[in-house]
Amino acid sequence: MNAFRASYLARSALALMLAFPLAAAAQNPATPATNVQRSDQAVPDGTKPSHADTEFMKEAAVGVILEVQLGQLAKQNSVSESVKQFGQQMAIDHDKANEELKALAEAEGVTLPSQLDAKHTQQLQRLQKLVGPQFDRAYMKLMLEDHKKDIKAFQHEAQKGDDPEVKGFAQRTLPTLRAHLSMVEQTLSVLDENRGHPADSAAGNEPATGRAAPANQ
């Protein structure tokens, strides 16, 4: 009897020893499952604006600097009230655009120029030498050319840019640029009407800039 019980207990112990590794394996998933979990982890997005987007931002920054400086110059060298009002509006609007562009560039990791390049420096220096009616016409003609060019560049970026944030900036700025172009055309019309009477500060001439006031939209 004792021998039979000893044999039974030995067989039971052996069965438990064989079953324990199987139970442990069932409770602990195999190592490959852990490897699959690690491969599913998200990879940080290190994308940056394309070369075309970056160049657009840099050119826009230089243009903004020129617009602000010329707008301030108009208050000193112009004899036309319409031109002075236009220059003041340019300085205000483009200063706001500059703040938005700087914030965008910082977020995108792009370093913007902080001063004019050689080409735009020459344009500024040429206008600094002019005063009165000569300044007024030269300044407004430059603004006409620049805003037509700027609208074309911003339209291209808004439609075909690669970076969504840069495209958004271009889209938001376009209405202001179009309003500025309208102001340029109206101001040039005032200058044409007042040739020989450069000081067009009379109340009858003020609507030329007043109608384009929504430049901040």
Q: How confident is the model at residue 197 (pLDDT cuts 50, 70, 90)?
A: low
Within-domain flag for 14: no
Within-domain flag for 174: yes
Instruction: State whether the Cα torsion 67-72-73-74 is positive or negative.
Output: positive
- What's the total number of domains in the chain? 1
Within-domain flag for 30: no
Task: Give the pLDDT mean for 167-185.
Answer: 96
Within-domain flag for 177: yes
Does pLDDT of 78 surpass 70?
yes
Task: Give the pLDDT mean for 70-90.
Answer: 94
Q: Which of 4-8, 85-89, 105-109, 143-147 has the lowest mean pLDDT?
A: 4-8
Within-domain flag for 141: yes
Q: How many residues does the chain have?
A: 217
Task: Give the pLDDT mean for 30-45.
Answer: 39
Return d(Cα 193, Cα 127) in angstroms, integer: 22
174 or 211, which is more confident? 174
Q: What is the pLDDT of residue 167?
A: 95
Q: How high is the mean pLDDT of the chain?
A: 78
CB of 127 closer than 8 Å to CB of 70: yes
Range of the domain at 86: 51-216
pTM given for the model: 0.68
DSSP states of 152-196 as a string?
HHHHHHHHH-SSHHHHHHHHHHHHHHHHHHHHHHHHHHHHHHTTT
Within-domain flag for 28: no
Return d(Cα 60, Cα 72) in angstroms, integer: 18
CATH code of the domain in which 152 resides? 1.20.1260.10
